[in-house]
């Protein structure tokens, strides 16, 4: 490589460095020539130093941090191995500055909780997270936005600001009392989660409203609640827990070995509301109209196993999706059902005032008022979707209700399979009344 101990590196040699090095060069100290260490940074490191303004704890090859409570809002680790040990660890993004703990092999051990809030924890080859007496939380952050332009436009809403990520290109191992992901990402080639209680893969709710006009005249309102699901991606997923809960979120893997008492896959409900009001006043006349709309949509939870899926315990599926590949096994009872969605529409109109006409009998004047109402209510069942590959075994039977079922050749060891249905309903109610008097 042309490097000589004691001699400084040339510009060409520095430019060819693919990693940082500590090099010993001759220096004169008190008239004596000695070998002294000098650090040379690779182009990649220099580039990151120039573009990354975060506070940092980064070793040349390895990074080691051991402390009481750790609050990280900058960067810990680099391209070597990273080891972090603390009583409690909070890795939290503030504003636009991503909090990050990374390394080739990253190991994080907390006596209590590990909280990753809108931040990133990664290990290029291996990532190990251990909360000895606590929980691991992976959560996206929410931004609140509000502005007021008077009667023309008044809005406020929440949105995802920074997505929480716990990821590895290789192995990801987590041990804790509970692991909870809220609107966040968990990803690895080999993903192993072992908890004493629950694995919770949950959605993050965002909401908002927008108002136009005055409440007593021209007025429009729009409001919403939506669920932003978590994502779990792996090639091989292995879990140990009492309950594995997937709510309005997606878990995708090639193979799965779920050593759990219960697997619950449930949907969340997105909602939208509209109110439109108009009113008028004219010469001897007035009237008003009010329209109210409520809609709900299903935000399904999903577990997709491309190949073999092994589930030790019971499975409960509500308005959601479960796909198991060939030769899968469900040790407990499989129960599926739909999610009820409610929508409604109402229209109310009122009119009153004087009217006049001229006919063959002369001039006539009348006063009248009228009121009409329309109310509609709908109940819709959002069905579950169940796909079972060839050779799948249902060890304790199944109770399948309001579900789209696709299957190959499957076996039932104990119990049987029961099928049920749900009925969609629609109720419509109308009313009208009017009164008046004519003067000729």
| Model confidence at 297: pLDDT above 80 | yes
For residue 440, pLDDT over 80 is answered with no
Is 299 among the domain residues?
yes
Residue 326 lies in a domain: yes
How many CB atoms are closer than 10 A to CB 178?
19
Q: What is the DSSP letter of 8?
A: P
User: Is position 158 within any domain?
Assistant: yes
Asked if residue 2 belongs to a domain, the reply is: no
Tell me, what's the pLDDT at 223?
A: 94
39 pLDDT band, cuts 50/70/90, is confident
Contact assessment for residue 381 and residue 402, using Cβ atoms and an 8 Å cutoff: yes
Residues 6+ away with beta carbon under 8 Å from 249: 181, 201, 202, 203, 229, 230, 231, 232, 301, 302
Residue 283 CB contacts under 8 Å (≥ 6 apart), including other chains: none
Model confidence over 317-327: pLDDT tens digits?
Answer: 999 999 999 99
Question: Averaged over 57-67, what is the pLDDT?
Answer: 85
Q: Residue 3 domain-assigned?
A: no
Q: Which domain holds residue 317?
A: 11-439
Domain count, the chain: 1
Specify the pLDDT at position 26: 80
* pLDDT tens for each residue of 328-379: 999 999 999 999 999 999 999 999 887 766 666 666 777 888 899 999 999 9
Exposure string of 368-385, with b = 16+ CB inside 10 Å and e = fewer, is: eeeeeeeeeebebbbbbb
pLDDT per position as a tens digit, 197-247: 999 999 999 999 988 887 667 888 899 999 999 999 999 999 999 999 999
Residue-wise pLDDT for 150-182, tens only, equals 766 788 899 999 999 999 999 999 999 999 999
pLDDT greater at residue 228 or residue 145: 228
CA dist 391 and 118 (Å) reads 42
pLDDT value at position 362? Answer: 64
Task: Give the tens place of pLDDT for each residue, 111-139.
Answer: 999 999 999 999 999 999 999 999 999 99
In the structure encoding, which two tokens stand for residue 102, read together?
């990374």
* Token pair in block for residue 162: 């920074």
70 found inside a domain = yes
Q: For residue 5, is it within any domain? A: no
Mean pLDDT estimate for the chain: 91
SS3 at position 133? coil
- Percentage of residues of the chain with pLDDT beyond 70: 94
Q: How confident is the model at residue 248 (pLDDT cuts 50, 70, 90)?
A: very high
1 or 83, greater pLDDT = 83
Give CA torsion, residues 400, 402, 403, 404, to 10 deg.
Answer: 130
Burial class for 108, CB neighbours closer than 10 Å (0-12, 13-18, 19+) = buried
31 CB contacts (<8 Å, ≥6 apart)?
A: none
Residue 1 lies in a domain: no
* C-alpha R_g of the chain: 32
pTM: 0.84
């Amino acid at each position: 490589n042309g490097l000589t101990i004691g001699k400084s590196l040339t510009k060409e040699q520095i430019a060819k460095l693919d990693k940082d090095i500590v090099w010993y060069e001759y220096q004169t100290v008190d008239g004596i020539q000695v070998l002294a260490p000098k650090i040379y940074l690779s182009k990649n490191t220099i580039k990151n130093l120039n573009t990354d303004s975060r506070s940092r704890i980064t070793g040349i090859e390895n990074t080691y941090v051991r402390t009481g409570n750790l609050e990280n809002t900058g960067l810990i680790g680099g391209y070597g191995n990273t080891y972090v040990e603390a009583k409690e660890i909070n890795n939290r993004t503030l504003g636009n500055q991503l909090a990050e703990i990374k390394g080739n092999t990253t190991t994080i051990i907390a006596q209590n909780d590990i909280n990753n809030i809108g931040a990133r924890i990664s290990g290029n080859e291996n990532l190990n997270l251990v909360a000895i007496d606590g929980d691991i939380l992976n959560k996206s952050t929410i931004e609140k936005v509000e502005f007021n332009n008077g009667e023309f436009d008044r809005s406020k809403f929440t949105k995802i600001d920074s997505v929480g990520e716990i990821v590895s290109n290789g192995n990801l191992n987590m041990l804790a009392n509970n692991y909870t992901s809220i609107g966040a990402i968990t990803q690895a080639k080999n993903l192993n989660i072992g908890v004493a209680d629950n694995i919770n893969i949950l959605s993050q709710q965002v909401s908002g409203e927008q108002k136009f006009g005055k409440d007593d005249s021209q007025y429009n309102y729009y409001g919403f609640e939506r669920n932003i699901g978590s994502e779990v991606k792996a090639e091989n997923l292995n879990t140990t827990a009492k309950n594995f809960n997937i709510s309005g979120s997606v878990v995708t893997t090639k193979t799965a070995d779920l050593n759990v008492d219960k697997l619950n896959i449930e949907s969340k409900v997105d909602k939208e509301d509209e109110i439109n009001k108009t009113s008028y006043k004219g010469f001897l006349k007035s009237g008003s109209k009010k329209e109210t709309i409520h809609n709900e949509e299903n935000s399904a939870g999903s577990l997709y196993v491309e190949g073999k899926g092994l589930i030790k315990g019971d499975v409960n599926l509500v308005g959601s999706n479960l796909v198991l590949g060939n030769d899968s096994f469900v040790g407990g009872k499989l129960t599926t059902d739909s999610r009820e969605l409610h929508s409604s529409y109402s229209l109310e109109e009122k009119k009153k005032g004087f009217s006049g006409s001229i006919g063959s009998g002369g001039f006539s004047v009348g006063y009248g008022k009228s009121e009409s109402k329309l109310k509609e209510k709908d109940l819709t069942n959002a069905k579950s979707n169940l796909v079972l590959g060839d050779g799948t075994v249902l060890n304790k039977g199944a109770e399948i209700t309001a579900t789209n079922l696709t299957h190959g050749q499957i076996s039932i060891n104990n119990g049987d399979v029961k099928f049920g249905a749900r009925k969609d309903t629609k109720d419509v109610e109308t009313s009208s009344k009017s009164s008046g008097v004519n003067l000729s």
